[in-house]
């Protein structure tokens, strides 16, 4: 049984003895004691005042005294204004960490799908996609670490007017450009022509306005836009030449995406393509009509009225019988369940789609699908840069590949400035710069709660002293250096020490908390919990490193015990960083 669970069990027993009231362990909240006070854990006793009919201080003292009598783990207690600070016996900490397994194990869990990335095939991945991909990939790793059976899915938006715009611009202005002839990654090349389309489209609008049309009318009557719309109709009709060009340019994009995904450390088990799913869902609209879930208007369009649920009316099928986005999402959700029967399906999508997913999930429940209860939208905030908002059609986005290259270059400059590459070969240096640069990017992105909008500052993310990935990575490398310097006999622990320092207790407390933090990260779908936990572990180890000598400890048992703590810390950091997709450098 874990330390906190043992203590909570003792507290529950005492509360039952004192007040005749049974409480679950989950309802008993323990916090780490503030550094200004003596103690390891703090119990807030205000919730128990209604049971004791006494003041918070009297209640805390009564619980503390009863715990001293009944608990074999407690060394002392003190009360500060209703806060009960509990200090455990050192022998308890020592025994716990000697029996501790750094990487937690869990019983087999449910099957879960995590759907993320969902790029459009008319442009390369950008900064916003990076946050999406890192969140989805890290969440999948965290769920796997909690013994869930995880399927990582990617629904690619590979059809529609957006890709037709790139295709048409390539036909008109491309001069048979290919990734090979242009020297551009395929996704960059296609994105270039998406920007090219917008540039010429705006020129046409301007010319039409100068000839007397309103801007709104000009936007609809632009010859370039009309050609793109005609190309979309040809695609939907299966026109051979249009389909051939579509397949060619999409493959350029897929090859480019694959390269970006590889560098990001992202992979998928299942791909869905909108070109295959856009007709799905129509049969479910008919089912919904027969059940009275949907209704048909005079023009033949089909709607659902969600005003009773605080939403509004939503179109689910156009008058001409064609789908809208929610139609195909309804069908795709059913397809995914039929294929994998996941108990949970998590959609990692930005918060601008909050309303869409509320409607989608509600429709699926009204259609009577029990599995709809397991659908969850992991809504995340947008990413801003110091320079402002991005616009892909104007070519002002921060490209994912460029950003990764910039991060690696910044890591190189900072590392060389600090003189951390002495004795390394050129290949070792290049690997280190990539590890630090990408680690800084991933850690900075993931340490922010997913629901919050964030400002990403590349320079701020690479700081060896801040709350950053490189700080945690450096702690791991420092421990590796210590372990390399230690002789084999130094690591042999014949007898544990009888006394340990407060900095050792704090580190032990951190290490023992890993399983609980890992469970919380899965429960709340939040990699930020792991990132902040790793910062605590790194800080706790560095406090220990500055407080005591490890290799020059007074006796063999102290040295061996501290090396044992160091090894557990390194293992925990490496595992935790791995869940964030961050590599741990052995040397820095």
Closest CA to 14 of 33, 28, 1: 28
Assess if residue 385 is contained within a domain: no
**Each residue's pLDDT tens digit, 404-456:** 999 999 999 988 888 878 889 999 999 999 999 999 999 999 999 999 999 88
% of residues, the chain, pLDDT over 90? 83
Same domain, yes or no: 418 and 545: yes
Q: Which of 226, 256, 271 is the last residue of a domain?
A: 271
Same domain, yes or no: 411 and 553: yes
Q: Which of 57, 88, 119 is the last residue of a domain?
A: 88
Same domain, yes or no: 417 and 556: yes
CA dist., res. 496 & res. 303, Å (int) = 71
Q: What is the mean pLDDT of residues 163-186?
A: 96
In CATH, what number is assigned to the domain containing residue 534?
A: 1.10.730.10
Assess if residue 366 is contained within a domain: no
List all residues 6 or more positions away from 68 whose beta carbon is below 8 Å from its beta carbon.
74, 76, 77
Q: Which residue has the tokens 């989805």?
A: 136
Show the tokens assigned to 563: 């090396």
pLDDT at 395 over 60: no
In CATH, what number is assigned to the domain containing residue 43?
A: 3.30.1360.70
Same domain, yes or no: 420 and 539: yes
Q: Which domain holds residue 239?
A: 160-271
The pLDDT confidence band at residue 387, using thresholds 50, 70 and 90, is low
Same domain, yes or no: 180 and 63: no
* Average pLDDT in the chain: 93
Q: Which of 88, 107, 139 is the last residue of a domain?
A: 88
Q: What is the mean pLDDT of residues 561-566?
A: 96
Q: What is the mean pLDDT of residues 391-400?
A: 60
pLDDT at 253 over 70: yes
Same domain, yes or no: 265 and 164: yes
Assess if residue 7 is contained within a domain: yes
pLDDT value for 271: 97
Q: What is the mean pLDDT of residues 235-248?
A: 96
Assess if residue 125 is contained within a domain: no
Show the tokens assigned to 69: 């009598």
495-521: string of b/e by CB count within 10 Å (b at 16+)? ebbeebbebbbbbbbbbbbbbbbbbeb
pLDDT value for 6: 86
Q: SS3 for 467?
A: coil
Assess if residue 284 is contained within a domain: no
Same domain, yes or no: 430 and 570: yes
pLDDT value for 286: 94
Same domain, yes or no: 417 and 531: yes
The pLDDT confidence band at residue 394, using thresholds 50, 70 and 90, is very low
Same domain, yes or no: 530 and 427: yes
Q: What is the mean pLDDT of residues 108-116?
A: 98
Assess if residue 177 is contained within a domain: yes
Assess if residue 280 is contained within a domain: no
**Each residue's pLDDT tens digit, 463-520:** 888 899 999 999 999 999 999 999 877 778 888 898 999 999 999 999 999 999 999 9
pLDDT value for 396: 54
Assess if residue 117 is contained within a domain: no
Same domain, yes or no: 69 and 209: no
CA dist., res. 197 & res. 193, Å (int) = 6
Task: Spell out the SS3 assignment of 348-374.
Answer: EEEHHHHHHHHHHHHHHHHCCCHHHHH
Count of domains observed in the chain: 3
């Amino acid at each position: 049984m874990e330390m906190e669970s043992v203590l909570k069990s003792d507290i529950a027993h005492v509360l039952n003895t004192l007040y005749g009231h049974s409480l679950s362990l989950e309802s008993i909240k323990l916090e780490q004691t503030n550094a200004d006070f003596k103690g390891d854990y703090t119990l807030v006793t205000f919730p128990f005042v209604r049971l004791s009919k006494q003041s918070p201080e009297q209640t805390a003292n009564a619980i503390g005294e009863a715990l001293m009598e009944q608990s074999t783990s407690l060394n002392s207690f003190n009360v500060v204004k209703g806060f009960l600070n509990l200090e455990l016996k050192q022998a308890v900490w020592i025994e716990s960490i000697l029996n501790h397994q750094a990487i937690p194990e869990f019983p087999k869990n449910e099957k879960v799908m995590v759907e993320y990335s969902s790029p459009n095939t008319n442009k390369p991945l950008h900064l916003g996609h990076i946050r999406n991909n890192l969140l989805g990939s890290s969440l999948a790793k965290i769920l796997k670490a909690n013994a869930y059976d995880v399927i990582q899915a990617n629904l690619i938006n590979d059809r529609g007017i957006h890709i037709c715009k790139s295709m048409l611009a390539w036909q008109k202005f491309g001069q048979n450009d290919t990734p090979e002839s242009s020297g551009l990654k395929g996704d960059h090349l296609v994105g270039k022509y998406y920007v090219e389309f917008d540039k010429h489209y705006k020129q046409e609008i301007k010319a039409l306005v100068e000839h007397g049309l309103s801007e709104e009318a000009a936007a609809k009557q632009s010859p370039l836009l009309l050609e793109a719309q005609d190309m979309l109709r040809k695609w939907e009709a299966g026109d051979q030449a249009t389909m051939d060009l579509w397949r060619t340019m999409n493959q350029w994009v897929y090859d480019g995406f694959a390269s970006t995904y590889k560098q990001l450390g992202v992979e998928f088990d299942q791909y869905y393509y909108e070109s295959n799913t856009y007709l799905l869902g129509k049969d479910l609209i008919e089912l919904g009509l027969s059940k009275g879930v949907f209704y048909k208007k005079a023009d033949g369009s089909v709607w659902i009225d969600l005003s009773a649920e605080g939403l509004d009316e939503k179109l689910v099928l156009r008058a001409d019988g064609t789908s809208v986005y929610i139609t195909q999402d309804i069908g795709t959700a059913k397809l995914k369940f039929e294929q994998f029967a996941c108990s949970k399906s998590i959609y990692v999508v930005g918060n601008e789609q909050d309303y869409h997913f509320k409607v989608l999930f509600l429709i699926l429940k009204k259609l009577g699908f029990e599995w709809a209860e397991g659908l969850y939208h992991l809504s995340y905030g947008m990413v801003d840069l110091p320079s402002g908002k991005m616009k892909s059609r104007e070519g002002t986005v921060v490209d994912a590949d460029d950003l990764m290259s910039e991060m690696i270059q910044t890591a190189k400059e900072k590392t060389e400035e600090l003189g951390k590459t002495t004795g390394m070969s050129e290949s070792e240096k290049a690997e280190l710069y990539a590890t630090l640069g990408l680690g800084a990017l991933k850690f900075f992105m993931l340490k922010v709660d997913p629901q919050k909008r964030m400002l990403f500052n590349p320079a701020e993310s690479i700081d060896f002293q801040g709350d950053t990935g490189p700080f945690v990575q450096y702690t791991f490398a420092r421990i590796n250096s210590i372990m390399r310097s230690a002789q084999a006999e130094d690591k042999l622990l014949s007898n544990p020490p009888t006394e340990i320092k407060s900095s050792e207790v704090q580190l032990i407390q951190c290490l023992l908390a890993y399983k609980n933090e890992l469970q919380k990260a899965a429960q709340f779908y939040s990699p930020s919990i792991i990132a902040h936990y790793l910062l605590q572990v790194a800080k706790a180890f560095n406090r220990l490193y500055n407080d005591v000598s490890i290799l020059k400890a007074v006796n063999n048992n102290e040295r061996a015990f501290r090396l044992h703590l160091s090894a557990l810390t390194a293992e925990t950091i490496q595992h935790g960083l791995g869940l964030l997709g961050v590599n741990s450098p052995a040397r820095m």
